[in-house]
Amino acid sequence: MTKEQFLLEFSRHLRPLTAIEKGDIMQDYEDHFDFGMEEGKSEDEIAASLGSPKQLAKEILADYHIDKMETSKSTGSIFRAVWSVIGLGFVNLVLVLGPFLALIGLLFGGWAIGVSFTFSPLLVFVNAIFNPGTFEWFDLFMSLALCGLGFFISIGMYYVTINFKNLTFRYLKYNVSVVKGGK
């Protein structure tokens, strides 16, 4: 593969990046080709040493989305980072997506329990309004106890959610380093 073919395909896979970031990365790889040719290597040898332009672009995009997740930590940036890491290889479909979906399910479940327990006294009052003969003091006091428990669960879930974001970030960085051949 020639330098132009490699860079053209590489550029095509870097579309999600901004023009400035894409230009900087493209310049780095053009310089890599120039330095390699000064050392006496052919364009084919340099392209072969870099590997597949598509895989190289996936690794760069995964790093980009993880760095973006580190700065913004919004839900959208987390999902984009997870998706880009999954794109690095089929094995990541199991190693990243499975645990991520399981943990998201646990987070939603915890929040649902906390919020529903917190608003349980409202249900007792609504029931008392629409069915006046069914009011029981026990129901009211139980719902107040659940309300307090739900409040504490919601506070706990807030901290669990923050830690989930941080752990997701660290896991994705570790996974990318493993895919790239690091530790």
Q: How confident is the model at residue 69 (pLDDT cuts 50, 70, 90)?
A: confident
- Cα dist from 146 to 24, 103, 109, 133, 143, whole Å: 56, 24, 16, 23, 5
**Which value, in Å, is the radius of gyration of the alpha carbons in the chain?**
26
Stretch 166-177: mean pLDDT: 82
Distance separating alpha carbons of residues 62 and 71, to the nearest angstrom: 14
Query: What confidence score (pLDDT) does residue 72 get?
Result: 72
Residue 183 has pLDDT above 70, yes or no: no
**pTM listed for this prediction:** 0.58
* Cβ atoms within 10 Å of 105's Cβ, excluding its own: 10
| pLDDT tens-digit series, residues 25-58 | 888 888 888 888 888 888 888 888 888 888 888 8
| pLDDT tens-digit series, residues 98-152 | 888 899 999 999 999 999 999 999 988 898 889 888 888 888 899 999 999 999 9
Average pLDDT, the chain: 84
Query: What confidence score (pLDDT) does residue 182 get?
Result: 59
Stretch 6-33: mean pLDDT: 85
Burial class (CB within 10 angstroms; exposed 0-12, middle 13-18, buried 19+) of 7: middle
Distance separating alpha carbons of residues 90 and 93, to the nearest angstrom: 5
8 A C-beta contact, residue 8 and residue 21 = no
Pick the range with the lowest mean pLDDT from 75-79, 124-128, 131-135, 163-167: 75-79
